[in-house]
Every structure is written in C-alpha cells, then in structure tokens.
Amino acid sequence: MNINTSAKTETWLWLGQRLSAVVLAVCVVVHIVTMIFAMRGGLSTGEIAGRVGGNVWWLTFYGLFVLSVSVHAPIGIRAVLLESTPISARRIGLLCMIFGLFIIVFGIKAVIGLYQLGPV
Amino acid sequence: MTTEMLRVSVWRGKADGEFVQYQVPRQENQTVLDLVTYIQRYLDPTVSYRFSCRVGVCGSCAMTVNGKARWTCRSHVANVAHGGHIEIRPLESLPVVKDLVVDMTTFFDKWAKAKGSFEPTRSRHDDLASITSTDRQRRQVDAGIECIGCGACYATCDVVKWKPDYLGPAALNRAWTLANDVRDGGNQQRLRAVAGDDGCLGCHSQQGCVERCPQKLNPTKAIAGLKRLTVLAAIKGDL
C-alpha cells in the first residue's frame, strides 16, 4: 500500500478533514439535542433502541456520523502525531489508517446492531 | 541627582550560554537597541549583536526581549521593562551564532523554498502592467508586502518549534503576496511548494505571528488565503 505524504495527498487529507468536520458539526448537534429533548424515561438502552431500532433515517444518520468520524479522527491524530512524535510519517500513516478502519468496522457494526433490534 | 539604572540581562555565548547582568543608565526615549549598544560600547566590547538602520526598516535587530520577539530599534524601554529589568535573548527557533546573533540562513532558505521570488511574465519590451490601486488582488499584495524579514513571526511560531521543516509565517506571507501579483507567472510551482503539512496546511491559526509582527501584518490571513488556493488547485488537478 502506498502511503505517501506528497503535498497533493496532504491537501486532500486536509480538505477531507474540514469537510468531515462540517458534517460532524451538524451530526453532533442533532445527536446531543436528541439526547436532551427526546429523552423521556432517562437515558436507557430500551429508550435508545426504541427510537433508533428499525428506523432507516436514524440508520442513515448514524451511518453518516460514523463515516465522518472515521475520516475526521484519523487525519487529526495523524497531524498530532506528525507534530509531536519522532515516529516516521509512513508508520503514522499506517497507524491512522488502521485506526480509521477500526472506527468504520466497529461503528457501522454498532449502528447496524441497533437498527436490527427493531422497534421495541 | 542620581542616575536611574536599568538591570539588563544579556544572553552570552551560544545555545549553551548564560545570562550576564549589566547596569545601564536609564535615558529618555531609550530603545532596547540603545541598551545593547551602550553595553557594547561602554561595558563589554565582546557583546555581539546585529543591527543596521536603527529606524525599523532593515529588519536586522530582532531579539527576544522579556520573552517576546521584538524589533529592538523601535521597542522603547519604557514599554517593555518589567520593574527596572530587561532580559535580552537571541531569537528562538534559529541557531545562535554568538550572544544575540542568530543564523538566519534557514529562515531565508525557506523563502526560496516557498518560491518567494518574482517570476516575470513580461520582458522589458512589453508595456507596463496596468493595475489599479483598488484592484482586489493588489490590495491583498499591499496588505502583506511590507515585511522587513526580521524573523519575529518565525521565532514566535509554535508550529516552527514543533516542526523544523515548516516554512513559517514570513515565507508563506511572501508566497501569498506573489500569488496575488498578476504580473507573476510562477504560481503553479509556488502552490506546489507551499501546499502540504510543511507548508500552509501546517498552520494552526494561533496568530502568534500576527501578535508579534512589528509591521502589523497578518501572516495568518495570508496563510488562510494560501490554504484556499492550494485546495482549489488540488480540486482542479493543478497540484
């Protein structure tokens, strides 16, 4: 796998992180507002599953949320590691790619898992 | 009448040097450069420092004064002394040659690396370019063109401290002025040179450069402009 750090690649990574930040800003607000206002009987598994389970809109929303995080977080952590550690750029690139894949796989698994619970 | 004395700590030696204290008589309208000049002329002729014009034009006398990078020729003692004491060190992020003198080679090499030289598109046989003073791009150039290359922004920038290869605010500001110069033809190469993490995308917008620029320039804004241009170039496939 070629993980180069050319100016072109870095520019795309930078743009990817900014665009994912825009999506995240909306997602985080919707997520928090929902948590605060849609909550009735306390923050319980039953209530969350009741709202999200079997709902295609929430499936899409949280799917998008997870995808944005999987783009945003690894690029940010890559920048932090590049600036503050002596680890080579190649290794940092690999580490962050694995981290991004970890978020996608387990994040999407969780989102689908909640959806499959169906309406409670 | 007794003369008021100022306690001045001056860095002596190279990077592993130490502060030496001098007592300098206080005078009206005295600048920090006056202090160093007094020390060298009357107290210790072995003190090394760099200056030229003494009027804020040449950019050679920048030093760290009480922890902040300043042009010493136009920094009045009255404005920077803390309780009758002033500490003068060489600029940060640049290798110390001796005492208050730093090696500016890296700083200026980065201007070259950022393609900070004008690439003409016309010859002497062509007409002069017609640019009005209200032209938007010309105004962007005007906003950043008065850099005197003192290195105060570079010495203040945290990103330079973290990443020694980062081009720094002055070089990027220069690239931005040329990027807006319609007479210049080197933009594609320039944007390639300033894109990436060691270029404009590495800037954290902390604005230390803006805070410390003695010319009141805004390198952070210039770098933000370069970010826009490099992203547009990447989208167009020009990077």
DSSP B151-174: -HHHHH-HHHHH-TT---HHHHHH
Interface test with A, best of B197, B206, B228, B232 (most A CBs within 10 A): B197
**Nearest to residue A2, comparing CAs of A117, A106, A74, A97?**
A97
B9 contacts B86 by C-beta, under 8 angstroms: yes
Q: What is the pLDDT of residue A41?
A: 64
ipTM: 0.80
Would you state the structure tokens that stand for residue A65, as one six-digit string? Answer: 């949320």
* Sole residue written with tokens 């995308």: B201
Q: What is the pLDDT of residue B239?
A: 85
Q: What is the pLDDT of residue A54?
A: 87
Residues of B in contact with A7 (CB under 8 A): 192-193, 195-196, 199, 230, 239
Q: Is A15 on the interface with B (CB under 8 A)?
A: yes
Q: Is A21 on the interface with B (CB under 8 A)?
A: no
Q: What is the pLDDT of residue B136?
A: 95
Separation of alpha carbons A7 and B103, rounded Å: 28
DSSP3 helix / strand / coil % (chain B, rounded to 5): 40, 15, 45
- Checking if the pLDDT of B1 tops 70, the result is no
| Residue with more model confidence, B34 or A83 | B34
Task: Tell me the per-residue pLDDT of A18-65, one tens digit each, with 9 for 90 and over.
Answer: 999 999 999 999 999 888 887 766 777 777 778 888 889 999 999 999
Element (H or E) spanning A77, and its range? Answer: helix A56-84
Task: Tell me the per-residue pLDDT of B73-130, one tens digit each, with 9 for 90 and over.
Answer: 999 999 999 889 999 999 999 999 999 999 999 999 999 999 999 999 999 999 999 9
Separation of alpha carbons B107 and A31, rounded Å: 47
Q: Minimal Cα distance from B237: which residue of A?
A: A8
- Checking if the pLDDT of B49 tops 90, the result is yes
The answer to whether B230 contacts A6, with C-beta atoms less than 8 Å apart, is: no
Q: Is A11 on the interface with B (CB under 8 A)?
A: yes
